[in-house]
Amino acid sequence: MSLDNHWFTEPVEQTGTAFSLKLGERVHAEATPYQKIEIYRTETFGYLMTIDGCTMVSTRDNFLYHEMMSHPVLNSHPNPRDVVIVGGGDCGTLREVLKHPEVKTATQVEIDERVTRLSEQYFPELCVANGDPRATLFFGDGIAWMKEATPESLDLIIIDSTDPVGPAEGLFGRKFYLDCVQALRPGGLLIQQSESPLLHLPLITEMHKFMREAGFAQTRLLHFPQVIYPSGWWSGSIAQKTAGPLAERLDPAMIDALGAQFYNADTHRAAFALPTFVKKALGI
């Protein structure tokens, strides 16, 4: 992270890239037992939350990530009743999940409660579903939670984590995926944010390898724009417990009821259309 002449800049030395936003002021900073959280007021993107110097969520563009990490996979499952979100402390993914009336329970497992409490203060629009009777906010270790989950109790797991370093590192490993397979019902799906197809393709291929080795029958990738993350192009990796085609529940009235800004039937289908170099890397 660099602060110079009222700009926030996140450089990524490994990829030789950087992203910047012009700032108004820093409105909050604290070190929790897990990470350093800062919140800035920007000139054009509203509020910006960073964790350990990396961009996490902004007022202006968060809908891209939250919609595409929830609606495509929910509409790819025939009947997603019980959902768990690992991470997702800003609550935006939880909000999108609970727009689906077929969801009966949605549990958010976030290790750092301060992420949620600060989101309630600075991103209240993301937290409007926190009081939904179907929602449970659990503050604790997602790896331990999944290990102790009742076998075949979940239809959908959404891993809405930070990058694979620090508290989130274990969420990208074979052992964690083994526990996820056990917790899912037959036909269950997992989706995990999997970084940039342009900059992090080796990580994506390794994730898919680990998922299959853990017992998932097959994996898929979807992709979407995400302006404040490295390269501006992001992805979600989907793992299916049982083989077969994904469901495609794209009823126009249902889609309209979501009130989405980016997601619709066309963007749903387009998200699964992969560039040639990505297909070759994943062997599909």
pLDDT in tens, 190-211: 999 999 999 999 999 999 999 9
**Domain 2-58 maps to which CATH number in 2.40.128.90, 3.90.550.60, 2.30.140.10, 3.20.20.70?**
2.30.140.10
The CATH topology of domain 62-282 is Rossmann fold (3.40.50)
pTM: 0.94
Exposure of 237 in the CB half-sphere (CA atoms within 13 A): 29
Q: Which two tokens stand for residue 240?
A: 């299916």
pLDDT of residue 166: 53
For residues 116 and 121, give the distance between their C-alpha atoms in angstroms, rounded to a whole number: 9
pLDDT in tens, 137-194: 999 999 999 999 999 999 999 999 866 545 545 666 788 999 999 999 999 999 999 9
Q: What is the number of residues in the chain?
A: 284
pLDDT band at 1 (very low <50, low <70, confident <90, very high): low
Q: Give how far Cα 161 sits from Cα of 22, 38, 142, 169, 277, Å.
A: 26, 17, 10, 9, 26
Q: Which two tokens stand for residue 31?
A: 């070190």
pLDDT of residue 194: 95
Q: Which residues are catalytic?
A: 160
Q: Give how far Cα 277 sits from Cα of 40, 204, 207, Å.
A: 37, 13, 17
pLDDT of residue 14: 87
pLDDT in tens, 232-267: 999 999 999 999 999 999 999 999 999 999 999 999
pLDDT band at 284 (very low <50, low <70, confident <90, very high): confident
Predicted confidence (pLDDT) at residue 4 exceeds the cutoff of 90: no
Neighbour order of strands in the sheet with 154-160: 135-139, 105-110, 82-87, 154-160, 184-193, 233-240, 218-225
Domain boundaries, the chain: 2-58, 62-282
The values of phi and psi at residue 47, to 5°, are -80, 150
pLDDT of residue 174: 84
